[in-house]
Every structure is written in structure tokens, then in C-alpha cells.
């Protein structure tokens, strides 16, 4: 059975992926708050808490490392992160590794990728992509070290999705390369700490 079979099933979200459901709700609340207080205007979004190099390191506004991951620059940006990043990928990952480990993985990747962006980029950045790429990094780890957790078909789909997203990261304008790469590397490395390796499956 595909790990993505229940993705988008609201009953499954509530019972098996509660952290993902919480993330969807928080993102939706933040979207509404942004829309009713000025919309996607750059000046308004910056005040809501994007990752800003100068505001973080010069002004000590470290909360931006977290708040930026719940902000979006457009309705399409929001929908793509919710539908693909949370409903499809995150809910599947949470079912596979459990809610506690998923929460550590998601917020760990979020913080690490945001910090990397703050260090390496002078451009204001926002969006959940760093955390979502962390989920992709973890799923990639599973295709290598926990082949028992998903079918070969799902593993192939995960690798293909990662390859396509890496290409978009480097060749599409307006995408944070440090955020995406930082996220996927973070998720991959955090999986070493969170998920028990199945050595027998790897070797055979």
C-alpha cells in the first residue's frame, strides 16, 4: 500500500497526523491574518516576521526564524505548500515515524534552514519550504536506510519529486537556494538521530 494513500483524508489527518493538521490550521490562520491586515504587500509581510538577516542579527529578532515558515508571498505559494508539502508529504511522513518524531523533524528542519538562510542570504525570505524540504530529506533517508518503510514505487516517486524540486530550486527565480538545500540536508541528517536504521535491509 502506498504511503500516500491516505494523504488528504481528513479523518486520517485528525487521528494519525495531528501535528500536520495543526500545521495546516496555523498556516491558514496566518494567511487570514495577513490578508485582513494589508495582504501580500512586502512592507506588511516583513513586519509579520520574515527571515531578515539584519533584523535577526542586528536587532535580535530571532522569532523570525520560526514565524517566516508560517507566512506566504501569494495564494499560490500557500496552496502549493499546503497541498503538496503538508497534505501529501508531511501527513505521510508523520504516519511513518509517529507524531513526536515528526514534530522534531519538522521544526528542527525549519529552524536549521531558517538559520542558514539568515546567515547566507541578504534577501528577505518566507515560506514553509525549508521545513517541507526537511520532510523530503527524511523521506530520501528512508529510501536508503529504511527500505522496509515504503514500496519501491513510492521510493522512486520520492526520489523523482526531490530531483524535480532541486532543479526548480536552482533554475527558477525567487526561490531560496539556502533554504531548500538547508532543509533537505537537515531532514536527512536529523533522520539519523530520529529513525532507527534497518541495516539488514540496507545490506540485502
- The CATH number of the domain holding residue 181 is 1.20.1540.10
Domain-embedded: residue 36: yes
Element (H, E) at 162: helix 152-171
- Is residue 104 situated within a structural domain? yes
What percent of the chain lies above the pLDDT cut of 90? 81
Q: How many CB atoms lie within 10 A of CB 189?
A: 17
CA distance 86 to 80: 9
Residue 5 covered by a domain: no
- pTM score, whole prediction: 0.93
- Segments forming the whole domain that contains residue 127: 10-203
Angle at 79 between CA 77 and CA 85, to 5 degrees: 90
Task: Please write the tens of the pLDDT for every residue from 155-179.
Answer: 999 999 999 999 999 998 889 999 9
Site of grid cell 508529504: 89
pLDDT score of 202? 42
Residue 92 lies in a domain: yes
- Give the span between the Cα atoms of 81 and 73, in whole angstroms: 11
If one counts every other C-beta atom within 10 angstroms of the C-beta of residue 22, the result is 13
Cβ–Cβ under 8 Å, residues 126 and 45: yes
What tens digit of pLDDT does each residue of 82-113 get?
999 999 999 999 999 999 999 999 999 999 99
In this prediction, residue 199 carries a pLDDT of 52
Q: What pLDDT, on the 0 to 100 scale, is given for residue 167? A: 95
Q: Is residue 2 in some structural domain?
A: no
The verdict on residue 1 lying in a domain is no
3-state class of 150 per DSSP? Answer: coil
- HSE of 32 in the Cβ direction (CA atoms, 13 Å)? 5
Does 146 fall in a domain?
yes
Give the separation between CA 141 and CA 108, rounded to whole angstroms.
16
Is residue 3 in some structural domain? Answer: no
Contact status, residue 84 vs residue 158, Cβ threshold 8 Å? no
Provide the domain count of the chain: 1
Amino acid at each position: 500500500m502506498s504511503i500516500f494513500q491516505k494523504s488528504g483524508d481528513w479523518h486520517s489527518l485528525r487521528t494519525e497526523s495531528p501535528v500536520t493538521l495543526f500545521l495546516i490550521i496555523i498556516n491558514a490562520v496566518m494567511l487570514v491574518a495577513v490578508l485582513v491586515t494589508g495582504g501580500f504587500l512586502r512592507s506588511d509581510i516583513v513586519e509579520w516576521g520574515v527571515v531578515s538577516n539584519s533584523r535577526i542579527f542586528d536587532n535580535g529578532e530571532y522569532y523570525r526564524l520560526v514565524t517566516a515558515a508560517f507566512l506566504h508571498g501569494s495564494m499560490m505559494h500557500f496552496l502549493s505548500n499546503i497541498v503538496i508539502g503538508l497534505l501529501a508529504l508531511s501527513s505521510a511522513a508523520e504516519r511513518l515515524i509517529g507524531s513526536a518524531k515528526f514534530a522534531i523533524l519538522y521544526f528542527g528542519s525549519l529552524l536549521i534552514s531558517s538559520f542558514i538562510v539568515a546567515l547566507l542570504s541578504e534577501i528577505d525570505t518566507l515560506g514553509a519550504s525549508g521545513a517541507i524540504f526537511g520532510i523530503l530529506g527524511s523521506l530520501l533517508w528512508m529510501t536508503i536506510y529504511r527500505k522496509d518503510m515504503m514500496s519501491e514505487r513510492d521510493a522512486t516517486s520520492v526520489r523523482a519529486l526531490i530531483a524535480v524540486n532541486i532543479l526548480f530550486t536552482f533554475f527558477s527565480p525567487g526561490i531560496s537556494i539556502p533554504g531548500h538545500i538547508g532543509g533537505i540536508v537537515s531532514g536527512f541528517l536529523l533522520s539519523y538521530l530520529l529513525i532507527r536504521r534497518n541495516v539488514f535491509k540496507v545490506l540485502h
